[in-house]
A and B are shown apart, each in its own frame.
Chain A
Amino acid sequence: MQAHASAASRFGANALAAALTLSASLATAHHNSQAEFGPFGGPTIYVEGKIVDIHWGNPHISMDIEITGGALPAGEKWRLVSHPIRIMEEYGFQSSDFAVGDTVKLHTWTHVRKQPLMWPRAIQINDGPMRSNLRFTDMIDIANGTFESLNIQAPLNLNGSPPQRAGPETVAKLKEMGLIDANGLMIWPPPGRTD
């Protein structure tokens, strides 16, 4: 069941699009996961599920998940959304890591308006490690001293990341902990430790 309001893309279609446009918003914001799922340091829930479908594409990857356990009722159908392909790869995830039928364990945020959407803070595929999917939350947890207890594997792109999006308090704490280099970038693992 599809009701299309499609703009055929050809020269001159701009006029048609303008006529159809009911909002003249000139918003230029990027996709903002915090607006939809809450702050990076906000509480997460733990859920388990089975992958029913995978869309490994832009502007962000997504997967259909049937819930099997955890904080959501078994049998519910949710869509996991995450980063664009390039960012997923920078985190260390590849499309070949996921397959329909795989089980996933997730520490995840859910949509602030109760839509069936989740944004994972960390993802465990089958019996693999629980891997981080949000480095800024890792920074917050590291600064708060809670990261180690979560048993979450840090992502490939944590080391060398600019930490500003984790917030000024977190940046200050990380500096005190000696985890910010001379260029203002995150150092991970901590000096003297190999992960």
Chain B
Amino acid sequence: MIRQVFFGAGIVVAVSVIVWQIVGGRFAGGGGAHEAAATSAGPVRAPAFRVTDELIEDGWVDATRAAGADQKPLEHSANSICFLTKIEIKGIQSPEDANSCTIGIDEFTGYWQVTAEVAEGGHSAVRCNARCLVWE
């Protein structure tokens, strides 16, 4: 137990140091290499953050019509992180009526995407939506 506590504390310290190095170097120009780069390239601009609205249309599957998966792109994953804000499930008919809301990166477009899905054989309906934190 004690060992686990020390191990956990060690991880926290390590992550904190890494984050401090990165954030401190990026925003304050601290650190040798960062300082040199900042001097030659001018002051480093802190990124502007914004939070997107939910998608105009939910990711939505109504399996009373047809099961399937509805994928909706959100924001480019290079400068954003996205999170689910809506999971709405209706009309589950049986233990096999499987549905889900997932969020992940689409390898083709490089965008975050939210996916609403009802598996084949299901008869329920699922709606999903998401928002993103974007830095520019």
Contacts and interface: CB of A to CB of B under 8 A. Distances in A.
Interface in A78-97: 78-79, 84-86
Contacts of A113: 56
Contacts of A17: 87-89
A78 B60 CA distance: 20
B87 A21 contact: yes
Contact of A5 (B67, B69, B101, B110): B101
A7 B66 contact: no
Interface stretch (A59-67, A141-149, A161-169, A171-179): A59-67
Nearest to B81: A3
A49 B66 CA distance: 29
Nearest to B68: A58
Interface stretch (B14-22, B24-32, B39-47, B90-98): B90-98
Contact of B86 (A25, A53, A112): A25
Contact of A78 (B62, B70, B109, B126): B109
Chain A interface size band reads 35 or more
B67 A3 contact: no
A59 B61 contact: yes
A21 B73 contact: no
Specify which of A29, A60, A79 lies most central, judged by the most chain B CB atoms within 10 Å of its CB: A79
Interface of B: 54, 56-58, 60-62, 65-74, 84-89, 92, 95-105, 108-111, 122, 124, 126-127, 129
Given A21-B89, A112-B56, 5 more contacts: A5-B102, A6-B102, A9-B89, A9-B97, A23-B129
Q: Which 9 A-B pairs have the closest CB atoms?
A: A58-B68, A58-B66, A17-B89, A2-B104, A23-B86, A6-B100, A9-B98, A10-B95, A9-B97
